[in-house]
Each structure stands twice: as C-alpha cells, then as structure tokens.
Structure 1
C-alpha cells in the first residue's frame, strides 16, 4: 500500500495521560503506514506565550489551514474533545473523508456517526483498512 504523500490531519485531545497515549500511538501507526501526519500537538508555536492572543491566532489559523490541506481526517473520539469535534465538523463541511478511532467508549454522537467514512475500534482495523478505495464502515452502536 503506497500512502506516501497522502496527508492526514490527526484530530485529538492530548490533555490527559489516556488521550496523550492514544494520540502518540496514532502518530506512530499512521506514519508507519506511510501517511504524512499533521498532529496539532506537534505544532504549538512555543515562541508565543501559551494562551496569549497571538498564540491563539496562529494555532487556530495553522490548524484550520492544515484541515484544508489534508487528504483525510483521522479523529480519536475517545474522551471527546471540543477542538476535535470542531475539526470533524470543518472537515465534513469541506467534503474531507473522516475516519474515527473509538477504542473505549460504547456510544457515539449522531452527528459524528453519520459524518464518518469509516469507524475503527482497533489499530489492527486501521492497519488492514483499504486506504486506496476507502470503503464505508458505518458505526453500528448506540447513538446519543
């Protein structure tokens, strides 16, 4: 599978140990598969004071710009994060294929379940998915 040059925007929170663990695993797996991965965690513009208006401006614009540039959006849906939800909505509005990784929780929001192209519960599913044809894998569980 040649995914070289395909850009993935990796949407996820990283604000606790579980989120950070999942995000680092996603960065590793997707890069090993050959994707060019944009992970906002790696682009925090440390030259600006965290949470200052200049920092907010540049981080927001950079993240939005990279959603626009991405071929795919891959979102980690466990322990939902409002920024991730915004990025999924933006991707949907732009017509970007959306892939959801949802390892732990047992339900999914209706707006997420109906916007996605494929729903994954394990890294094995991600690794064996046909990224060339991107078949639809619907979420089959309970929606909220």
Structure 2
C-alpha cells in the first residue's frame, strides 16, 4: 500500500474544489494506504503567517514528503504560472528520488522543469482513483513547454 503526499495550491474556491476532487479520487484508490494533504493538516494553536507557523508548517510538510512513497502534484494554476510552494514540493520530491505524478487538467503550457521531472502525467483527477500506485506506470507530457 502506498503513502501519498498531495501537493497543490488551495488559495481560492476553484483550487480547493480541485484538490478536494483529488483527495476523493485518492481515497477511492485501493492501492493508496494514506494521503497527506497539507490543506487538511493545519497545526492547531498556530496563527497562519507567523514565523512559528511558517517554520513548523515547513518542517511538517518536508517530513511528510520524506515519509511518502510518491508525490501527487496539481499543476493547474493561473495562466502558466506555477504556485511556488507546489513547485518547491515537486523539486524536493524529485531530488529525494520520489516519483512525482502530475495532474494537469487545464489546457495550459507546462513548465519544462515540471515536464522533465515527472514520473507520470495525468489529465483528470478521477484517473487517480484507478492509477496503479503499486507499479507506478510511467507516462510523459508531450505538449509545449516554457
């Protein structure tokens, strides 16, 4: 059974709806043991934006990436601009030799660093419910890059 770290922005209603669909799809996947979603893992008693909150959140998220078997990352942002936190999580996972499964639902150009660093490329959140996380089949992005 696979442990998943879910990376993606959740700053507005559209992003929250997207990440909720992904959480639901991953929960339906019989090969996924658990999902760490930073959206659902705020540290109680800390005020968002404070130095203490930033340090503890950073340390928690990096630890969770270290513990995960795979990182699933949402790369649909505003235009072609990647969320910097999600980009960090993807880069950290890649450097840590963790497979990165990218979900790219919008019809935007992908950044070359994301396109070259991914292990699997998916276009629909619902496909995560059936993705074989035990064998991690590879698939690649073949569109334009920036």
TM-score over 0.5 for the pair: yes
* DSSP-derived class of the 1:119 partner: strand
2-structure distance, mates of 1:129, 1:49: 37
Per the TM alignment, residue 138 of structure 1 is displaced from its structure 2 partner at its CA by 0.4
Partner of 1:127: 129
Q: Which runs of structure 1 show a deviation greater than 4 angstroms over 4 or more consecutive aligned residues?
A: none
Q: 2:100 aligns with which of 98, 101, 108?
A: 98
Per the TM alignment, residue 124 of structure 1 is displaced from its structure 2 partner at its CA by 4.1
Per the TM alignment, residue 130 of structure 1 is displaced from its structure 2 partner at its CA by 2.9
2-structure distance, mates of 1:98, 1:31: 18
The answer for unaligned runs of 5 or more in structure 1 is: none
* DSSP-derived class of the 1:108 partner: coil
Partner of 2:3: 7
Give me the CA root mean square deviation.
Answer: 1.2
Partner of 2:28: 32
Per the TM alignment, residue 115 of structure 1 is displaced from its structure 2 partner at its CA by 0.6
Deviates more, 1:25-34 or 1:58-67: 25-34
Q: What is the total number of aligned residue pairs between the two structures? A: 140
Residue pair 1:106, 1:141 contacting (<8 A) in 2 also: no
1-structure distance, mates of 2:118, 2:136: 11
TM-score, with length taken from structure 2? 0.90
The answer for unaligned runs of 5 or more in structure 2 is: none
Partner of 1:65: 63
Deviation by residue 1:61-106 (Cα, 9 ceiling, x = unmatched)? 0000000000000000000311000000000000000000000132
Per the TM alignment, residue 107 of structure 1 is displaced from its structure 2 partner at its CA by 1.3
2-structure distance, mates of 1:136, 1:32: 21
Relative contact order (C-alpha < 8 Å, sep 6+): which is higher? Answer: 2
Residue pair 2:105, 2:124 contacting (<8 A) in 1 also: yes
Residue pair 1:78, 1:102 contacting (<8 A) in 2 also: yes
